[in-house]
A = this chain, B = another copy of it.
Amino acid sequence: MKDSVYWADQTWPEAKAMVEKGAPVFLPLGSTEQHGHHMAVGVDIILPTAICERVARQVGGLVLPTIPYGNRSQPRSGGGPAFPGTINLSAQTFSLVVRDVIVELFRQGVRRVVVVNGHYENIWPSIEGIELALDAIGRSNLEDLNILRMDHWEFARPETIARIFPDGYPGIELEHASVIETSMMLAVRPDLVDLDRSLHDGPAQFRPYDRFPRPPIEVPPSGVLSMTEGSTAEKGEWLFADAVEKMVEIVREEFEIGN
């Protein structure tokens, strides 16, 4: 077997051999979405892919091509559609992609799937996509299919959060393009981060409701919902370590895979 854990890098007999061994298959869900003046719009593609690669190496899995377009960015969680650079799918389109991929995996014998999400707005349509896949496969034909769905930011340990935010955590909802994502990008793709350009117009003071069709004026013009000060590659590595360690543990336990 070659060194790569990416599905797309395997020949079909290699993919076949992995599937027959019961290798867990990871599907990263990304987006193309503004992440402030200081980071590339591909952040949500890069981070879940990088996490999946690390986890897959430890558990003997394969990482599918990342879905690079996500469900509609919303003003309160990602800045919303008013930012150029953001390219949204509708919820139905996104769900259908997830459905089709999972149905195909099932068809060729994959029974251990881990959907790893990197974009807040993908949470619900990824759930829907999985449900639609179960419908399409047939609820009575699911055999030993086992699908896990994870949002990578859920696995930061409280101790890590406390270390990163000694003055208090603004909360995950405002973390878009902020310290957590910036630090993680500094850890894996520092070439796509330019802290000198980060603006200081946050944190956003969102009203607790949505307005359509006009975007709320509370969205910080920079697109950074909270703040970027204090972002470092080291903190990014802490966060990666948390996510990878926890995900490896979950995958091993849920799929009953030994070390």
Q: A residues bordering B, Cβ < 8 Å? A: 6-16, 19, 30, 32, 34-42, 45, 64-69, 71-72, 74, 81, 83-93, 95-97, 99-101, 104-105, 107-109, 121, 123-125, 127-128, 130-132, 134-136, 138-142, 145-151, 154-155, 192, 194, 197, 207-214, 223, 250, 254
Within the assembled complex, what's the spacing in Å between the Cα atoms of A12 and B40?
7
Q: Are A41 and B69 in contact (CB under 8 A)?
A: no
Chain A interface, DSSP helix/strand/loop, else mixed: mixed
Besides the contacts A10-B40, A148-B209, what 5 more A-B pairs have beta carbons closer than 8 Å? Answer: A7-B85, A68-B68, A93-B99, A127-B210, A147-B213
Q: Are A147 and B211 in contact (CB under 8 A)?
A: yes
A102 to chain B, nearest CB (A): 9
Which one of B81, B109, B150, B207 lies within 8 Å of A84 (CB-CB)? B109
How many copies of this chain are found per oligomer?
6
Q: Inside 8 A of A104's CB, which chain B residues have their CB?
A: 81, 86-88
Q: Which 6 A-B pairs have the closest CB atoms?
A: A8-B42, A65-B68, A124-B124, A12-B85, A15-B85, A12-B34
Q: Are A145 and B88 in contact (CB under 8 A)?
A: no
